[in-house]
Chains A and B, each alone.
Chain A
Amino acid sequence: MRKQIRLSGSGGQGVITAAIIYAEAAVAEGWEAVQSQSYGPEARGGASKSEVIIDKEPIYHPHVSVPDVVLAMTQKAADKYHADLHEDGILVLDTDLVPEPPKCKNVIRIPITKLAVEEVGKSLFANIVALGALTKIIGLVDLESVKTAVSHRVPPHTIDQNMKALQLGYDAVK
């Protein structure tokens, strides 16, 4: 029952934060979870990757081997991180930031950053839109648990916007 999830993009897009929130929601539901990350020395703009493993059993080796879901928020990340996807795995792409989707069996394209800018007002919320989409696609942790985890992690005055972003992402997956 292990789920392996990889979130990738460029530094500053918030993929690490999104991964942490998802893992926090999983723990709140009683799952075992580990979250790890790798990033370049730059604060912004460098490659950024975060991985989450969720299981009922203890998790030792902390890195994803065969991801069930890969989120890519840049073309570079999509090209680099889709290759080892499980044969039935799902590649989730930001439509506008990944203009050339890699060849993959299951690809879901969502205008993640566009939704954040046009519906919530800032690209800053793109990671939470993505988190909403992943919550629906993974189908392991309840949206309610993720909502609670988001509200614990973000600044209080941004909770309404973050809830809107989360729901937008969730609803964007048909």
Chain B
Amino acid sequence: MSKARLMQGNEACTEGALAAGVRFFGGYPITPSTEIAETMAKKLPQYGGTFIQMEDEIASMGVVLGASLAGKKALTASSGPGISLKQELIGYAAAAEIPVVIVNVQRVGPSTGQPTAPSQGDVMQARWGTHGDHPMIALSPWSVKEAFDTAVMAVNYSERFRTPVILLMDEIVGHLREKVELPDAAELDIYPRRQPSCTRAEGYQPYAPAEDLVPNVADFGTGNRIHVTGLIHDETGFPVGNPKITREAIDRLHQKIAIAADEITHVEEYCMDDAEYAVVAFGGTARTAYEAVLQARAKGIKVGMVRLITIWPFADKAIKALAAKVKGILVTELNYGQLVGEVERAVAGKCDVKLCAKYDMTIFEPEEILSDIEALAGGKA
């Protein structure tokens, strides 16, 4: 019997997180992310997990960090205003190397903006929302099925690299319902939380990096007394005011992600074999961009699409390769223009880069992107 069913993006995100082993959710409801909290409240008890609605978004971020330190895979979900409030503790998670997933179902900002309307305006907030030098992983799904897949990836990456991961959804995909067939749990690769490989007596230090530069920090309550801080610390976990240790600590935070960047930077290409022009798109907007690419193809324009699934780390290699291949790139995003700056940086003048931006509460129509593709191709059909 077919397992196909109609499912909403927010529900699929929840299912993915549960399948990846999330057993703790702390949050505070906000449109358009609320269905994630609702589904978690219903489902987590069935998995022996814990759902807690906190008094606000800051406490919601604190409680998931506590749960993660105590050994549970933990997730919170919110939208713009709530994500802004969580920033300080997202930085704490990066510094103290606490695995956690933050789902941001983007809506129009700034501030309370347009609560029920779609946007992709938090691309740069995902990267730089919290202060200081830190790496960031952010993923953005374009379909309900991919909301499931990227939720699994987000949990796995947060555990593997002991870092906060932002699942950068948008209202388009979060509220969309479509036909999906979800994989069985047995088909998934789930990254288990790594445990200390030796005891204190044998020299265990909670923040000593393993070969992949990620430390095996003991979970609270497993017999190791450890110190966790947002201050720069050495292998013991205690703060140190020392230039060398500071530099090494910040280097390691970046390097643990950088050495795996090729593995975690997911990009998909469409109609690119003979393409002379390319649309770069991500999230729900990529659905409309693809429709526009197909319409342009029907008119004889050799255009393809490169879709970023991983937003951060940025797909430098893929975009540099693209710049060497095509005459022009059109970046489509549902904001005033954020990702386009990264594309321009990677392209470094090797080809034209144009922006197709929209920030008026409504999603793109294919015709709007099509006319920009035609303009980019200079009317050459």
Contacts and interface: CB of A to CB of B under 8 A. Distances in A.
B178 A41 contact: no
Interface string A25-47: 00100111111111111000000
A4 to B, nearest CB: 13
A65 B291 CA distance: 12
A32 B288 CA distance: 17
A136 interface: no
A39 B6 contact: no
A60 B116 contact: no
A35 B116 contact: no
Interface residues of A, number: 22
B116 A62 contact: no
A27 B176 CA distance: 14
B284 interface: yes
A63 B363 contact: yes
A35 B115 contact: no
A62 B6 contact: no
Q: How large is the interface on B (under 10, 10 to 19, 20 to 34, 35 or more residues)?
A: 20 to 34
Contact of B6 (A33, A41, A63, A65): A33
A67 B117 CA distance: 22
A68 interface: no
B287 A61 contact: yes
Contacts of A65: 365-366
B317 interface: no
B177 interface: yes
| Residue from the set A31, A34, A62 with the largest chain B CB neighbour count within 10 Å | A62
Nearest 10 Cβ contacts at the A-B interface? A61-B291, A35-B177, A60-B287, A34-B178, A61-B288, A24-B6, A27-B6, A27-B179, A60-B291, A60-B290
26 contacts: A20-B177, A24-B5, A27-B6, A27-B179, A30-B2, A31-B179, A32-B178, A33-B6, A33-B178, A33-B179, A34-B176, A34-B177, A34-B179, A35-B176, A35-B178, A36-B175, A39-B116, A40-B116, A41-B115, A41-B116, A60-B291, A60-B294, A61-B287, A61-B291, A62-B176, A62-B284
